[in-house]
Amino acid sequence: MHSSETESFDIAWVREQFPSLTLQYNRHASAFLDGPAGTQVPKQVMDAVQYYFLGANANTYGAFLTSRRNDEMILSARAAMADFFNCDANEVVFGQNMTTITFALARAIGRELKAGDEVVVTTLDHDANVAPWRALEEKGVVIRQVDIREEDCTLDLDDVKRKITAKTKLVAVGYASNMVGTINPIAEIAKLAHAAGALMFVDAVHYAPHGLICSESASTWRSSSRTKCARQRTLHRNAGKRERKYRS
């Protein structure tokens, strides 16, 4: 970071937003280095959770105060995520975690696939973006796995081109690797997937807290996770365009 950037970045103020950073261990300030275990949670999120339990804990769509507040919270969370994903609010799906949502989506898309259809996954991806698609092998879907170039841990784009064929129905790829930090050329891969008539599923869990996720494409799903976004545990989300695929 350049010195001008550190000057304008009020680290003390940012630290104050995260109460867990005041934790002392053996009389020393704690440092949280285990990124994959999840980010620390800022006070604003804790306040929102408390607000919910104190004043909005009710069924949805009731005429009474707590129910109306609950509806408002859901709508505003949906709008915030739509802004984040650059999509419509009704295209946002919340769920338990990215892995669970991806399994659900794979099961749903799998209903439209037949034996011999192909799904492309990559060796660089987190298992959460491989196992759900591999589960479709049970019904005869062929999973083709793109290799990485070991010398620099990037995706082998020639292999991507080889693995995407006329039989490809979906390409599942990570935006950034949580293991080695590689940022994949998502737009380029999406172009290849869409040219073959395939859907694209992007695991943006690792990338989302760091960069803009912006896709205009009607056949791209993007996912992200609370674990990397300083959010409360149950808020995971997925966004995809409302569009019917495969059914004639």
205 near ligand PLP, judged by CB under 6 A: yes
237 near ligand PLP, judged by CB under 6 A: no
Q: Taken in order 150, 151, 154, 156, is the CA torsion positive or negative?
A: negative
Question: By C-beta, is 70 or 184 nearer to ligand PLP?
Answer: 184
Q: What share of the chain is helix, strand, coil (3-state, %, to 5)?
A: 40, 20, 40
Measured distance CA(244)–CA(218) in Å, rounded:
10
126 near ligand PLP, judged by CB under 6 A: yes
Stretch binding ligand PLP (CB under 6 A), from 17-25, 122-130, 139-147, 188-196: 122-130
121 near ligand PLP, judged by CB under 6 A: no
128 near ligand PLP, judged by CB under 6 A: yes
Measured distance CA(20)–CA(180) in Å, rounded:
27
152, two tokens: 């620099």
Among 98, 124, 173, 193, binds ligand PLP (CB under 6 A): 98
Residue type, 247: R
Question: Long-range CB contacts (< 8 A, 24+ apart) of 41-48?
Answer: 41/230, 41/231, 41/232, 42/17, 42/18, 42/230, 43/17, 43/18, 43/19, 44/17, 45/230, 45/231, 45/232, 46/19, 48/73, 48/232
| Site map 212..231 versus ligand PLP, x via CB under 6 A | -------------x-x----
Stretch binding ligand PLP (CB under 6 A), from 1-9, 66-74, 121-129, 161-169: 121-129
From the list 83, 86, 84, 58, the residue with the least C-alpha distance to 70 is: 58
Stretch binding ligand PLP (CB under 6 A), from 71-79, 134-142, 157-165, 200-208: 200-208
Stretch binding ligand PLP (CB under 6 A), from 125-133, 138-146, 164-172, 180-188: 125-133
Among 70, 122, 168, 178, binds ligand PLP (CB under 6 A): 178
- From start to end of 175-246, where are the E strands? 199-203, 220-224, 236-239
Shortest Cβ 227–ligand PLP spacing (Å):
5
142, two tokens: 């062929």
What residue ranges bind ligand PLP (CB under 6 A)? 36, 97-99, 126, 128-129, 174, 178, 203, 205-206, 225, 227, 236
